[in-house]
Amino acid sequence: MQLADDKVNIAGLQPVMQDALPVIRKVFEDYIGYATITSAFDKKHGNYSRHYVGLAVDMRTWTTQTSGIQLSKTRKGILAASLRKALGVSFYILVEDTHIHVAWKPNSVREAQEALIRRS
């Protein structure tokens, strides 16, 4: 998995997101041939963004790693559906104009506790 530039900080990601990175990478590489994180525990986001607590990453959605041309909405939708299937219901996948946002967002306190227990 590549980082878009030296400002992308994955060191601040929580363990649950670190565990998800290999899955995210595989889905992206299988579908578009590369996986590039454009933002993680860095940059400016919405007020209550999960990026600020290390629970989200943004993934590049260009047709090729260097093209600068976005995938079509249809192809992004297919990619997002593949991510949802691979990561499960604890992850929130949002298709944006310039990237796909992947965040850990458990559906319950119990689900969050179980994820933490699996890590210990």
Smallest Cα–Cα separation from 57: which of 113, 2, 115? 2
Q: How far apart are CA 105 and CA 64, in angstroms?
A: 29
Q: In this structure, are strands 91-95 and 2-3 parallel, antiparallel, or unpaired?
A: unpaired
- ∠ CA 112-9-72, nearest 5°, is 80
Coil/strand/helix, residue 39:
strand
Single-letter code of the amino acid located at 87: L
Residue-level pLDDT at 98: 93
The band of 12, judged by pLDDT with boundaries at 50, 70 and 90, is: confident
| pTM of the entire predicted model | 0.87
Name the token pair of 66.
């260097």
18-69 pLDDT, tens digit per residue, is 999 999 999 999 999 999 999 987 766 666 677 677 889 999 999 999 999 9
